[in-house]
Chains A and B, each alone.
Chain A
């Protein structure tokens, strides 16, 4: 102990030979340095300046204000509640040798020059101190959460700095290493960190990806969930017949176990049984929580033994909810459920501060405390960790004396005054810069180029630092915060080729524009200062097609960019046109221009929350908030000049409008009118053409046809509407009558607006899907099964159709050598129309054992005179030479040829 204090006072004064043999550590990874300065690239002094900040040198070696502004040091993580977050077993190994445990870390080794025993003692005390700051934020790993987290990690932008995880590919030189997160973090701790990284790491190098709701937790479970155990609740099963929930406490369960969420299928029988689920729910922030039970039959939910939701009794699916205020920490959840008879269901959901309603079963933990420690002797983290208060006390003193507090903010610790040599007076050699550890000095793992750069950086600062030019300041900031990982500016930075495929979009035809974050060249002339500030303050996700989000870096960290961008990025001003008409009428012209009778902007752009039928380009009402007026004008005239390769069309070629009859045919006026209209933001009136009116097709006085993707009739559907008010759909791929219905025919809006994606079903009612495969088959005998193969495989060929004077089709198709003419027609009766279908078969050669499948149903009742009732609703009459038979849920009609011809009439009444 005394010795340690002694050592600390001698910090930096002695140069001792290394007494600890070390596996050669890889150097500290600073992405901007690796990309622009490694291997002697770039300006060494600038690279050094970058490192002086990223390695936090000025925490000890004070810099004057001008140099400090240039260096913008990266504050080390705040350790106030590190015990909730980082596992002590990991800290023990990490503090003893940071580079070995997390290669590439920027954390120096403070004890490299200490004898082993002493190092162990020191580290142990510090670990107990750090662990004493908070209880671990334990959670059970959850597979579903991790699966969602995997998706998020690879979509929202994590990979821009960290690279892809879970591949065997070696990490990229410019990737910020993650280390072994499973050993480092408690799941809850990592989730809390990811939800607000700037709280622990205020310097913004790890920005806030705006993970909302359970997203932070999901990513944490993906990154640190390890071999995920699916079980996260305990259950006890009870058998018995009850009218309401019995007191399970007094009963003996018939079985117990653990499962994944509130899954009532764990019961051995659905009826006359009940189950109690127990587990824990980690409340992250204090607040009001609402719990919801939907069950058939009864259920109850308790938190810490207190009844919150009572949905008891014998009933059909019923929802009940209850609200309670919960303090942060692990809360015990008990859910009791029973079902007496009939259908059965249980859903348990919750919502809370910042958490949208979701399945509670997803976030449960099996235990209140972390599971028992690993017992595998080979595991470096094996063995329990029992907090020792004395050691923690020792650690607290050490924390101060060693100088940890110089870099790490910690509750109850004062930041030491800058007792070390000031930055400008450093020589750039020896001490922290030594290749071999020096007793009393932190040992940084530096590469050769890093050492050269730091020395150059110090030298430059010693020579006196002038405030940088705005463009230089911008470049330095974009390097420091690794903005260049996503954004290019003035041909510098941008997505690295090796990382390009990691950037994803949801609209493939947007190409790179839809997945690569926009360039920052000229951004100061483009975005308003307020909007830019908001981006830094809150981050953004305004491009619906782009998966990567703009993270929150914090105004305190990057806010100076607003003025710098504004100072250097200029655009030729636009003369705002003078209007002789009233402002209202200008706005109306803007409204007209945006709509589908003019420029059709909303064909691609979303309008507020209404999605366009095209590519879902950015909400158009955001534009005047985001964009500067002059830039908007210039961009409208020539989008490709500002964004090469953009999908945005040039609506004003050569600055001319094609709409000569609006606002004097003056392009400048028209663009201004659009600006005026859009400036209403979310209050802007909906543009014309956005509401999708229905396009009902009606057969007025003759039959009409609709060939398209028809739900129930396949990709080669042929819909026919008859003026009598009935409709059918023929499936030209399966070559069979697929569907009949009454009333409205088809709404073509889905196919005739936008690109026409998807299937459209019937508009009317009494839709009868005619089941079964091929209509005709040759069977060996009347016991042979009906063939299951697709019609074309069976030798069917669709040949088209012929229309009669009333435009009614006769469908033409072949089955082998048999020609079939299939003529459906509507028959008006007094009440409602029926359908009569005449099938005429012809064949040059007689065909034996040919059958027609008239209906398929488990419920076919034969009536009088060749009538049948199908499914109790559809009446069918068959008129044919052969006598129909009912077998295996089929109504089959033998086809009898006479003179090479056979006729079957099938009538539908429904």
Chain B
């Protein structure tokens, strides 16, 4: 039914369906990326909140129930059979982040940043040191704390959810803080609403996902540039705390409710517009974990790109980021569906394995298991996908993972572009607004056979540019595995 509706909405393309090879069924996501399930032992409730690879090769998984398990042979060909779970720590408070460094395993639990060690070598942690409890909690379940790994400067970052959606009842709710390994705390960003994950891109810059709600028309991937304001002004009262202005600079003006993101970005220098908006329902409903592909090709053709999970839709999305006007922006694409539970933490290792942890307690998910741990692996088969989608002064440049069929890929009628944005407002969420339909005036193929330049009648700064490509075929006559891209065009690059 979904398919039928989509086609009806873009009825102009229904004719292309006949172009696909009729005999063989079209390849699916599973042909390119397989999902391997870990077998979670009876009695273990692994509502995964964070993942980390330990120096001894085990996989550490922390849970919302406050346990940390060590899993042996995480890269086993058949993890359901070969990997074993042992309880390493218990009794912690909703742990949503793990990072190991210098013999310690750090975790961000709701109440504090803790580091742990198994000092007697019996396989269980026995030393739990409070590195920092520099933020406050009021007892509201919504006050989650997510933690990153250590960055290139030796800092571990946390994003702290507001008290509910509309208030910041205790210190630093709605903030990003970073810490050195001794617990020195540096206020880093304000304006956070409800994070679902925090992580780094390939360059090591730190991003988080924020979720639809007040001042967030839809979920998004946001760049945590130190000193920046991320959009929700309710937590900005903590600028009055000692040392904050010294670390952050002056408090930003509050944005005007009912405005648009880029209108306010032009007025508020500290405001960092979302790098990539993830359109509600089209690309999920609860953006969560973030990871970058540092495998150098072992995970397929997307080395250097960023992946974002969605808890509600049990999916992984792929993000292509570029810097325009000195700020990150870019495009997102569906990548892989069909995970077993609500995806929360994800980790793509250097050898090309993506670990995906899931939980759907309190928030339902398409994947039906209450919790899950899975590993996604590239099968080695090259999918036909948009590799990169870059903004140009007068359109977009697409590169594909495989050579394209010049006839379909060079035909403007193979593409359709629509643009829209969201209301930037203090009330919850937003419908899509300000729709425009630019025409694709010209399509020019690059000499490498994998590049396509789209020239548009008009670009809309501040809009998502939703590009449908149902007509495009690869040289070997395959349609795109995912034929929609969503580019968040905050800034139009100069010529």
Answer whether residue A534 sits at the interface, using C-beta atoms and an 8 A cutoff. no
Residue of A nearest to B8 (CB): A641
**Are A716 and B140 in touch, CB under 8 angstroms?**
no
Bound state CA distance, A802 and B362, in angstroms?
33
Task: Type the 1/0 row for A482-522, where 1 means its CB is closer than 8 Å to any CB of B.
Answer: 00000000000000000011000000111110100000000
Answer whether residue A754 sits at the interface, using C-beta atoms and an 8 A cutoff. yes
Residue of B nearest to A801 (CB): B128
**Are A654 and B2 in touch, CB under 8 angstroms?**
yes
Asked, given contacts A705-B91, A732-B133, A802-B126, whether A658 binds B368 with beta carbons under 8 Å apart, the answer is yes
Answer whether residue A653 sits at the interface, using C-beta atoms and an 8 A cutoff. yes
**Are A754 and B140 in touch, CB under 8 angstroms?**
no
Answer whether residue B138 sits at the interface, using C-beta atoms and an 8 A cutoff. yes
Contact of A705 among B90, B126, B130, B141 (CB under 8 A): B90
Contact of B368 among A600, A650, A716 (CB under 8 A): A600
Answer whether residue B259 sits at the interface, using C-beta atoms and an 8 A cutoff. no
Bound state CA distance, A512 and B312, in angstroms?
18
Q: Across the interface, which residues of A come within 8 angstroms of B280, CB to CB?
A: 645
Answer whether residue A655 sits at the interface, using C-beta atoms and an 8 A cutoff. yes
Q: Which of A611-667 contact B (CB under 8 A)?
A: 613-614, 634, 637-638, 640-641, 644-647, 649-655, 658-659
Bound state CA distance, A599 and B93, in angstroms?
28
Q: Could you tell me the distance in whole angstroms from the C-beta of B195 to the nearest C-beta in chain A?
A: 15
Answer whether residue B431 sits at the interface, using C-beta atoms and an 8 A cutoff. yes
Q: Across the interface, which residues of B come within 8 angstroms of A512, CB to CB?
A: 427-429, 431
**Are B93 and A637 in touch, CB under 8 angstroms?**
no
Answer whether residue B164 sits at the interface, using C-beta atoms and an 8 A cutoff. yes
**Are A600 and B2 in touch, CB under 8 angstroms?**
no
Answer whether residue A707 sits at the interface, using C-beta atoms and an 8 A cutoff. yes
Bound state CA distance, A800 and B109, in angstroms?
13
Asked, given contacts A598-B368, A653-B366, A715-B111, whether A803 binds B126 with beta carbons under 8 Å apart, the answer is yes
Residue of A nearest to B360 (CB): A600
Answer whether residue A248 sits at the interface, using C-beta atoms and an 8 A cutoff. no
Contact of A637 among B2, B65, B213 (CB under 8 A): B2
Task: Type the 1/0 row for B124-150, where 1 means its CB is closer than 8 Å to any CB of A.
Answer: 011111100100011111100000000
Bound state CA distance, A718 and B360, in angstroms?
26
Answer whether residue A752 sits at the interface, using C-beta atoms and an 8 A cutoff. yes
Q: Across the interface, which residues of A come within 8 angstroms of B281, CB to CB?
A: 640, 644-646
Bound state CA distance, A882 and B34, in angstroms?
69
* Tally of contacts, chain A with chain B, CB under 8 A: 151
Answer whether residue A217 sits at the interface, using C-beta atoms and an 8 A cutoff. no
Residue of B nearest to A705 (CB): B91
Answer whether residue A799 sits at the interface, using C-beta atoms and an 8 A cutoff. yes
**Are B90 and A509 in touch, CB under 8 angstroms?**
no
Q: Across the interface, which residues of B come within 8 angstroms of A658, CB to CB?
A: 338, 366-368
Asked, given contacts A651-B366, A653-B366, A708-B93, whether A634 binds B128 with beta carbons under 8 Å apart, the answer is no
Q: How many residues of A contact B (CB 8 A)?
A: 64
Answer whether residue B166 sits at the interface, using C-beta atoms and an 8 A cutoff. yes
Q: Across the interface, which residues of A come within 8 angstroms of B337, CB to CB?
A: 653
Residue of A nearest to B315 (CB): A653
Q: Could you tell me the distance in whole angstroms from the C-beta of A720 to the nearest C-beta in chain B?
A: 8
**Are A613 and B428 in touch, CB under 8 angstroms?**
no
Which of A604, A647, A709 is most buried by chain B, counting CB atoms within 10 A of its CB? Answer: A709
Answer whether residue A3 sits at the interface, using C-beta atoms and an 8 A cutoff. no
Contact of B366 among A604, A649, A801 (CB under 8 A): A649
Answer whether residue A704 sits at the interface, using C-beta atoms and an 8 A cutoff. yes
Bound state CA distance, A758 and B364, in angstroms?
20
Contact of B361 among A604, A708, A754 (CB under 8 A): A754
**Are B285 and A649 in touch, CB under 8 angstroms?**
yes
Q: Could you tell me the distance in whole angstroms from the C-beta of A230 to the nearest C-beta in chain B?
A: 33
Q: Across the interface, which residues of A come within 8 angstroms of B214, CB to CB?
A: 508
Answer whether residue A823 sits at the interface, using C-beta atoms and an 8 A cutoff. no
Contact of A501 among B137, B165, B360, B427 (CB under 8 A): B427
Question: A residues within 8 Å of B by Cβ?
Answer: 500-501, 508-512, 514, 596-600, 603-604, 613-614, 634, 637-638, 640-641, 644-647, 649-655, 658-659, 704-709, 714-716, 718, 732-733, 748, 752-759, 798-804, 812
Instruction: Supply 29 A–B pairs (Cβ within 8 Å), ascending by A.
Output: A509-B165, A512-B427, A599-B368, A600-B360, A600-B364, A603-B364, A613-B362, A641-B5, A646-B281, A647-B285, A650-B2, A653-B2, A653-B337, A658-B366, A705-B90, A706-B91, A707-B93, A708-B93, A732-B112, A755-B142, A757-B141, A759-B139, A798-B130, A799-B130, A800-B128, A800-B129, A801-B128, A802-B126, A803-B128
**Minimum-distance CB pairs A-B, first 4:** A705-B91, A755-B362, A511-B429, A637-B1
Other 10 A-B pairs with CB < 8 A, given A654-B1, A802-B128: A500-B427, A596-B370, A645-B281, A646-B281, A649-B312, A704-B90, A716-B133, A718-B91, A800-B129, A812-B129
